[in-house]
A and B are shown apart, each in its own frame.
Chain A
């Protein structure tokens, strides 16, 4: 079993819909990242969370440490949100514990 599981693997939405992508993990963590991989391949960091909730524009990320679960929400989705969204966890601090473990990603396609 992978240490980081994302669902769904693929998601198609209509423009304007509210979108939720889920991430569950099986290890203790010090932080969780959400990243976006554009169709051209580039990867950018969206959020880094260790507790609670963060919001940036139409993106909201939440984490429940007790349930080992995080969600990424996109409000008022737009075709430019089409990308692969990747969840990654950091187990600890420093050395190999500070390295990230990645989920397989969720491919989002938003239709106009």
Chain B
């Protein structure tokens, strides 16, 4: 079982460039999430999805976009990279949000904007 797979693991972008962080899961989970983790801070929710075709904003959505065309994939798009978006990004998935099922995390993408 691959679980949650994120690519790339590392990336350096120049200010103003765009890129897509890829996330795929093979557990047939309905819920998927994108978080960012900044030094000394807790994980912050960027966007989440409750199923294919349905996405919603989290706590820190500005500067990002998402789509969910399939159950498996939940890419995160940065359109105009800014230094404030330097962070470690985690994708996660869960079966639901009302049972005792945990969230499963990818290994993270370390992104630097220079």
The answer to whether B56 has its CB under 8 Å from any CB of chain A is yes
User: B100, A104: Cβ atoms under 8 Å?
Assistant: no
Q: Which of B44, B96, B97, B100 has the most CB of A within 10 A?
A: B97
Size bracket of the B interface: 20 to 34
Interface bits A7-31 vs B (CB < 8 Å: 1, else 0): 0000000000000000000000011
Task: For B44, list chain A residues within 8 Å (CB).
Answer: 102
Q: Across the interface, which residues of B come within 8 angstroms of A99, CB to CB?
A: 33, 45, 48, 58, 97
| A50 in contact with B107 (CB, 8 Å) | no
Q: How many residues of A contact B (CB 8 A)?
A: 30
- Complex contact B45–A43 (CB within 8 A): no
- Chain B: residues with CB nearer than 8 A to chain A? 31, 33, 40-45, 48, 50, 56, 58, 88, 90, 92, 96-98, 100-105, 107-108, 110
The 9 closest A-B CB pairs, nearest first, are: A98-B97, A45-B102, A102-B42, A93-B98, A43-B105, A102-B43, A41-B108, A104-B42, A42-B107
